[in-house]
């Protein structure tokens, strides 16, 4: 059974479970019926949430493989957050801490960080290691069909 992502309604504080396939969709709070906007922030993903989101997303998924000790990763973080906000409804952005989830990094052959992967339908569309600006990340996502 799908667990989905729990989002808290800003209006009433209710916890709303959003299935992976609806993370880029607008919805309504189950309690107060106030609109819930599409997800507009990066998701810190573990193995379980990563698999669920990548398998269920109906939009491209940008994955930022990073680590806290990595200065370029920290420099990229504001841009990754901007892309998540700017691409809300059009893409989902995940952050994977390679120190906490090395198996995910190995699965995508991440040898240097930051490392950015764009997935669509569970398949790698593009991948690149190194610092990348938010405009370029957005172009990658917009170019996915």
- Rounded to the nearest angstrom, the gap between the alpha carbon of residue 13 and the centroid of all alpha carbons in its chain is 23
Which pLDDT value is given to residue 3? 67
The residue annotated as part of the active site, out of 9, 12, 32, 70, is: 70
Number of domains forming the structure of the chain: 2
- Rounded to the nearest angstrom, the gap between the alpha carbon of residue 114 and the centroid of all alpha carbons in its chain is 15
Give the closest residue to 62 by CA, choosing from 36, 38, 37, 96.
96
For 51, counting Cβ atoms within 10 Å of its Cβ (0-12 exposed, 13-18 middle, 19+ buried), the class is middle
Does 70 participate in catalysis according to the annotation? yes
Question: Euclidean distance between the first and final Cα of the chain, in Å?
Answer: 29
- Over residues 1-16, the pLDDT tens digits come to 346 788 899 899 999 9
What rounded mean pLDDT belongs to the chain? Answer: 94
Which pLDDT value is given to residue 114? 98
pLDDT at 132 over 90: yes
Determine the structural domain holding residue 30 and report its residue range.
Answer: 5-36
Which pLDDT value is given to residue 1? 37
**30 and 88 co-located in one domain:** no
The residue annotated as part of the active site, out of 12, 29, 32, 73, is: 73
**78 and 51 co-located in one domain:** yes
- Over residues 52-80, the pLDDT tens digits come to 999 999 999 999 999 999 999 999 999 99
Cis peptide before 114 (omega within 30 of 0): yes
Does 9 participate in catalysis according to the annotation? no
> What CATH number is attached to the domain comprising 47?
3.40.30.10
């Amino acid at each position: 059974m799908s667990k989905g992502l729990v989002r808290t309604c800003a209006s009433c504080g209710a916890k709303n479970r959003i299935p992976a396939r609806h993370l880029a969709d607008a919805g309504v709070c189950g309690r107060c019926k106030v609109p819930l906007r599409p997800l507009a922030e990066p998701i810190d993903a573990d193995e379980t949430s990563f698999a669920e989101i990548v398998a269920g997303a109906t939009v491209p998924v940008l994955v930022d493989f990073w680590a806290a000790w990595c200065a370029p990763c920290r420099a990229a973080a504001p841009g990754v957050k901007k892309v998540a906000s700017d691409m809300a409804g059009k893409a989902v952005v995940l952050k994977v801490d390679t120190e906490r989830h090395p198996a995910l990094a190995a699965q995508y052959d991440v040898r240097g960080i930051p490392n950015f992967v764009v997935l669509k339908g569970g398949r790698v569309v593009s991948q690149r290691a190194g610092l990348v600006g938010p405009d370029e990340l957005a172009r990658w996502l917009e170019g996915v069909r």
